[in-house]
Amino acid sequence: MAEESHIKADGGLADLHIHTVNSDGSFTPLEVVERAAAVGLKAIGITDHDAIAGIPLAQKAGQAHNLEVIPGIELSSVENDNSIHMLGYFIEIENKKLNSLLELFYEERIGRARRITDKLRRMGIGISFESVCQKAEPGPIGRPHIAQALLEGGFVLSYEEAFVKYLATGRPAFEPNYPISPQEAIQVIHEAGGISFIAHPDYEVLDGRLGTLIKSGLDGIEILHPRFGEPTVRRLYNLAIEKGLLVSGGSDFHGGRDGLSGIGKHTVPYRFVEEMKQKMKVAQTSSTIRGSS
């Protein structure tokens, strides 16, 4: 990304939105770290969809490559039938409530995928649930794996067409996610010791619900994403500053399957990470003071 006047890259760069094979990416945690180190990043965020299994492997590899690996997650939530993704950073991956939710998500994703493949078969599209499960291993199953099966089976001409024609909200094979609200996702992230960001938000939709999310404890907004042009980045940045929110961003790297950019092509200044750490430090200090009073 060409640096914006309002986003100066002093002190190194970070890519804070990366997926691995432990959700719907195509690269292992080790491969992700190696690529990030090769392009000179200072830090990355591992933010698999509703999964954290890749974090310890990535952190171990990060130590060997002098790369900071931030433990993160991208939680699925739903509001008014709209899918809203919440990013969590610096989460404690041993947190019991978080792990209980992820176990529930895992089981619910299996049921959802089975219902989608059943719908597709009734439409004469012969992809099997078992083949989709194989594509998802070792991570939780999701619509991207079904889209890949549709593409490989010749039922669509592109990954994007699979969603537009069959899998997106309102399309014939759509099935909703397990319904936790954005507010519940924020709460889970906080209880796991992390800070919460709304992922790749639609500006107009965000503007209407931001107040509610802030009251629920939202910490920040993802302002930089491969789908965002310069005007959107600027508007989101200004909105975050106006509301006193943190900012983040990254490549949303999955391995190139869905056309999103590579690791290091959409980065934010490392100072964004430092600002996250500072907010967490202040919050922890306040909590300690309240606890001792």
**pTM score:** 0.87
Please report, in angstroms and rounded to a whole number, the separation of the first and last CA atoms in the chain.
48
Rounded distance between C-alpha atoms, residue 136 and residue 111, angstroms: 14
Rounded distance between C-alpha atoms, residue 176 and residue 39, angstroms: 38
pLDDT tens profile 1-45: 434 444 555 689 999 999 999 988 889 999 999 999 999 999 999
pLDDT tens profile 229-256: 999 999 999 999 999 999 999 999 998 6
Where, residue-wise, is CATH 1.10.150.650 in the chain?
Answer: 103-167
Q: For the structural domain made of 13-94+182-292, what CATH number should be given?
A: 3.20.20.140
Asked whether the beta carbons of 132 and 145 are under 8 A apart, the reply is yes
**How confident is the model at residue 1, as a pLDDT?**
42
Residue 86 tokens, joined: 């919440």
Range 103-167 has CATH code 1.10.150.650:
yes
Where, residue-wise, is CATH 3.20.20.140 in the chain?
Answer: 13-94+182-292
Rounded distance between C-alpha atoms, residue 160 and residue 172, angstroms: 15
pLDDT tens profile 154-208: 999 998 999 999 999 889 999 988 889 999 999 999 999 999 999 999 876 677 7
